[in-house]
Amino acid sequence: MKTLPLGSSNISSSRLIYGCMRILGDNSAQDRAKGKRAIQTALEVVTTILIMLTFMVAVRVKAYLVNY
């Protein structure tokens, strides 16, 4: 896992965590609301993709079983 130094301190963090920390921007109410919307949108996209994949697998399994 790659890490990045945090500012000029001796502390380092993974790039993933550092990216998550930055989603709140300057920590103002407006930036926190934007960060929450971004996370909600990402979760909705992932949920949609998982539902689509589940449906696609079900269709393939059904087709396999019919032809078996």
C-beta neighbour count of 6 within 10 angstroms:
13
The whole-number pLDDT of residue 19 equals 66
62: its two tokens: 């059904």
Report the number of distinct structural domains present in the chain: 1
> pLDDT digits over 16-50, tens only?
776 676 777 888 899 989 988 988 999 999 999 99
Distance CA 1, CA 13 (A): 10
What residues make up the domain containing 49? 3-67
35: its two tokens: 């960060």
Q: Percentage of residues in the chain with pLDDT exceeding 70?
A: 96
